[in-house]
Amino acid sequence: MADQTTGRFENLGRKMDEHFGGCSDRIEEDVKRVITYLNEKVVPEVKENSSKALRIAAEQLARLADHLDRARKA
């Protein structure tokens, strides 16, 4: 019985490897592209506009705090 179960798991493992085997390579390439994009496009923009982004975030946080205060009083 244990041999049958082991055999089924081995077959399942092989089938999954056949089906998903190349996925890790594609995912790794996609992750590398995302990291490159972040480093080349996003990081410079953030550095350039960080103070503006912080001001916008502060405004949004203030609005959220006001909303929470109103909700608590209601």
* Model pLDDT for residues 15-56, shown as the tens digit of each residue: 877 777 777 778 889 999 999 999 999 899 888 888 888 899
In 3-state terms, what secondary structure has residue 40? helix
Interatomic CA distance for residues 27 and 46, integer angstroms: 26
User: Which CA distances in Å does 52 have to 18, 61, 62, 74?
Assistant: 49, 14, 15, 33
Looking at residue 68, its pLDDT comes to 94
Quote the tokens at residue 10. 């081995």
Query: What's the domain range around 53?
Result: 2-73
Quote the tokens at residue 49. 């506009």
Looking at the structure of the chain, the number of domains it has is: 1
Quote the tokens at residue 27. 């995912």
Q: To the nearest 10°, report the CA torsion of 30, 35, 41, 44.
A: 170
